[in-house]
């Protein structure tokens, strides 16, 4: 039992559901025992109790009859505001102007957060643009819960893992294709659903309703080089402003630097602020050597302090390794067991890294045509449950489970109005954005917050939307990223450093496309 471990290992108690939150209309009298152990704060807003781990922030602003709140962090690259209370006030003022102004103000935010408002009748909530802040919601025994960790609610309410989730987690290929994560809006428990990005959720009178607020309108792709250059400049300027705001907002921000195009572009966006940043990389497996060498070369060229963390090949010498792994597994709800080198890396970074915040380069894959690259395709089938299932996992030899996942995605597609998404936003990209990032990414980031706080300059809805104007072939080839890097730091661009993921080979994509095609055409 994890409770027995926590009661015994008091120094690990702070890591239980670390940097998490719980919003509920149920009052907890004892905040000193399991699972809170005195490490959580509680604030009442209207009829709800906002419980937050002491390593995450809650901000609130009252305007009229509503209290607007934000858990986590946010900054605005358009107004250059990094104070969350001022950001909330601006959104509150936009709310009274109408729906369009309200969502436009929300779209401007970068960060990892849960945002919303509460009044006497309802609570409404939106997750950050890519769902990098994991979140779930549900009504159980008459009480309503919103939480960063489904397992936290599961512990408090005595929930048991859903039977389909058990079947998925035990499936031999569950860990393949982007690693372990659940389809649709599933969580480990049938009583809870995942908070999907780009959706506004409201709970009122015992029921949850939700509305897709993005994409709201049709978009046209760049028709010529002039329009393309304007898109590159706009997107790159958003990144640059975000990197300036991060340097203002945190002490000792550190970029996790590799030779990859995402990380390179993040580093390029910090140009002009290199004196405020440090970089780091880690070596936990042989495949990471090219990235380590590239990171050291880049940091040295621009005079940025760089630290390499060497992760041991065994867990010997890592204090309380087994106990920490048990806590991490419990935090993620037993649906995403980490690889041994990744778990050792978490332990080393948590113990040794001095970053005030890690600047991570996730979320940009949304507009890099990731699934097209992965399967070596220039086009994808039309929207369907089968497409979403085939992008999710391989089920060639388990058709019974394939059909169960089809039903999950059929309901998910209906519930979240994918049929109404404008044609300029391909279903495969929206799957990667809202399912893969929202489910796989959110769980992973929550686990990584065991080490330190994390932010992402790419996690901005206007930024992502802007780059959807780039033609698909340029997104697949990463030309738009290269052009942003050239605009932001020509000297870095001229170094011609780009480490391609060892998994991104033409032969591998060819073989995966065969599997994808076979999985698509099987009639049963």
Q: Residue 442: is its pLDDT beyond 80? A: yes
In a domain, 352, yes or no: yes
486 to each of 108, 269, 491, 494, how far by Cα in Å? 24, 10, 8, 8
Question: For 291-298, what is the mean pLDDT?
Answer: 98
Domain assignment present for 515: no
143 and 48 Cβ atoms separated by less than 8 Å = no
Q: How many distinct structural domains can be found in the chain?
A: 2
Same domain (yes/no): 18, 46: yes
Q: What is the pTM of this model?
A: 0.97
Does residue 46 fall inside a structural domain? yes
pLDDT band at 509 (very low <50, low <70, confident <90, very high): confident
Pairwise CA distance, residues 316 & 508, whole Å? 35
C-alpha closest to that of 402 among 174, 160, 187, 185: 174
Residue holding tokens 């290992």?
9
pLDDT in tens, 190-241: 999 999 999 999 999 999 999 999 998 999 999 999 999 999 999 999 999 9
Whether residues 100 and 196 share a domain: the answer is yes
Rounded CA-CA distance 384/401 in Å is 17
Could you check whether the bond before residue 370 is cis, i.e. omega within 30 degrees of 0?
no
Q: How confident is the model at residue 519 (pLDDT cuts 50, 70, 90)?
A: confident
Cβ atoms 395, 176 nearer than 8 A: no
Contact 383, 478 (CB under 8 A): no
- 342 and 229 assigned to the same domain: yes
Q: What is the CATH number of the domain that holds 354?
A: 3.40.50.620
* Domain co-membership, 130 together with 249: no
Residues forming a β-bridge with 140: 143
Query: pLDDT of 323-337, one tens digit each?
Result: 999 999 999 999 999
250 and 357 both lie in a single domain: yes
Give every CB contact of residue 155 below 8 A, 6+ residues apart in sequence.
34, 35
Q: Judge whether 509 lies within some domain.
A: no
The answer on 317 and 233 residing in a single domain is yes
- Check pLDDT > 70 for residue 154: yes
Kindly state whether residues 487 and 464 are assigned to the same domain.
yes
Contact criterion met (CB below 8 Å) for 127 and 135 = yes
What pLDDT sits at residue 503?
57
Q: Are residues 162 and 236 in the same domain?
A: no
Place of tokens 């760089």: 306
Provide the edge-to-edge strand list for the sheet that holds 58-63.
58-63, 66-75, 110-118, 122-127, 199-204, 207-212
Locate 140 and state its tokens: 């159980």
- Cis ω on the peptide bond leading into residue 164 (within 30° of 0)? no
Enclosing domain of residue 253: 225-366+432-503
Query: Is there a domain that residue 423 lies in?
Result: no
> Last residue of a domain, which of 212, 241, 262?
212
Kindly give, in sequence order, each residue whose CB lies less than 8 Å from that of residue 256, ignoring residues fewer than 6 positions away.
263, 279, 280, 281, 358, 359, 360, 361
- pLDDT confidence bin for 483, thresholds 50/70/90: very high
Question: Is the same domain home to 344 and 487?
Answer: yes
Contact 376, 513 (CB under 8 A): yes
Percent with pLDDT over 70 in the chain: 99
Phi then psi for residue 70, to 5 deg, are: -145, 125
Candidates 523, 366, 491; CA nearest to 432 is 366
Query: Are 206 and 264 in the same domain?
Result: no
pLDDT of 71: 99
Q: Which of 212, 240, 272 is the last residue of a domain?
A: 212
Neighbours of 500 (CB within 10 A): 12
pLDDT exceeds cutoff 90 at 448: yes
Mean pLDDT of 154-169: 98
Residue 216 is predicted with a pLDDT of: 87
Are residues 169 and 36 both part of a single domain? yes
3-state helix, strand and coil shares in percent for the chain, rounded to the nearest 5:
45, 20, 40
Same domain, 238 and 202: no
Query: What pLDDT, in 10s, does the model give residues 25-81?
Result: 999 989 999 999 999 999 999 999 999 999 999 999 999 999 999 999 999 999 999
Specify the CATH number for the domain of residue 152.
Answer: 3.60.20.10
Angle at Cα 136 formed by Cα 32 and Cα 243, nearest 5°?
90
Domain membership of residue 393 (yes or no) is no
Please say which residue of 180, 212, 244 terminates a domain.
212
* Confidence at residue 504, expressed as pLDDT on a 0 to 100 scale: 60
Provide the pLDDT for residue 28: 95
Residue 325 in domain = yes
For residue 253, give the H/E element and its range.
strand 253-256
Residue 62 parent element (H or E):
strand 58-63
Buried b or exposed e, range 67-83, using 16+ CB within 10 angstroms: bbbbbbbbbbbbeebbe
340 assigned to some structural domain: yes
Question: Is 104 buried (19+), middle (13-18) or exposed (0-12) by CB count in 10 A?
Answer: middle
CB 375 within 8 A of CB 519: no
């Amino acid at each position: 039992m994890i409770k027995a471990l926590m009661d015994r290992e008091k120094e690990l108690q702070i890591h239980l559901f670390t940097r998490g939150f719980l919003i509920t209309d149920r009052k907890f009298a004892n905040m000193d025992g399991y699972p809170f152990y005195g490490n959580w704060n509680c604030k009442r807003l209207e009829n709800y109790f906002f419980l937050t781990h002491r390593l995450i922030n809650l901000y609130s602003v009252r305007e009229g009859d509503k209290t607007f709140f934000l858990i986590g962090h946010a900054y605005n690259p358009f107004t250059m505001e990094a104070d969350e209370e001022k950001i909330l006030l601006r959104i509150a003022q936009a709310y009274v102007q109408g729906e369009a102004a309200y969502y436009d103000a929300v779209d401007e935010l970068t960060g990892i957060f849960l945002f919303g408002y509460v009044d006497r009748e309802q609570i409404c909530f939106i997750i950050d643009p890519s769902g990098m802040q994991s979140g779930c919601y549900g009504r159980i025994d008459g009480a309503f819960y919103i939480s960063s960790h489904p397992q936290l609610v599961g512990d408090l309410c005595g929930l048991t893992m859903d039977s389909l989730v058990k079947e998925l987690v035990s499936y031999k290929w569950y860990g393949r294709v982007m690693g372990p994560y659940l389809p649709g809006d599933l969580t480990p428990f049938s009583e809870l659903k995942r908070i999907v990005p780009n959706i506004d959720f409201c709970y009122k009178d015992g029921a949850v309703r939700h509305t897709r607020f993005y994409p709201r309108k049709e978009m046209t792709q760049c028709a010529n080089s002039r329009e393309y250059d304007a898109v590159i400049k706009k997107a790159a300027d958003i990144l640059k402003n975000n990197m300036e705001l991060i340097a203002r907002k945190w002490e000792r921000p550190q970029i996790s630097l590799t030779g990859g195009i995402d990380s390179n572009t993040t580093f390029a966006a910090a140009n002009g602020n290199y004196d405020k940043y440090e970089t780091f990389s880690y070596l936990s497996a042989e495949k990471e050597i090219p990235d380590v060498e590239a990171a050291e070369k880049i940091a040295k060229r621009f005079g940025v302090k760089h630290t390499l963390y060497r992760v041991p090949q065994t867990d010997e010498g890592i204090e309380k390794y087994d106990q920490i792994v048990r806590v991490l597994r419990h935090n993620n709800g037993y649906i995403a067991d980490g690889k041994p080198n990744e778990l050792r890396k978490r332990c080393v970074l948590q113990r040794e890294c001095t970053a005030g915040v890690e600047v991570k380069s996730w979320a940009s894959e949304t507009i890099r045509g990731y699934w097209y690259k992965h399967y070596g395709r220039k086009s994808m089938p039309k929207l369907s449950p089968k497409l979403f299932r085939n992008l999710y996992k391989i089920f060639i030899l388990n058709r019974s489970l394939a059909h169960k996942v089809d039903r999950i995605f059929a309901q998910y597609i209906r519930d979240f109005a994918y049929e109404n998404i404008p044609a300029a936003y391909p279903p495969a990209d929206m799957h990667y954005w809202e399912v893969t990032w929202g489910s796989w990414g959110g769980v992973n980031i929550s686990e990584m917050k065991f080490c330190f706080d994390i932010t992402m300059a790419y996690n901005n809805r206007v930024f992502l939307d802007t780059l959807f104007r780039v033609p698909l072939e340029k997104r697949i080839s990463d030309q738009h990223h290269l052009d942003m890097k050239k605009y932001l730091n020509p000297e870095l661009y001229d170094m011609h450093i780009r480490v391609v993921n060892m998994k991104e080979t033409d032969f591998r994509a060819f073989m995966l496309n065969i599997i994808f095609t076979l999985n698509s055409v099987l009639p049963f």
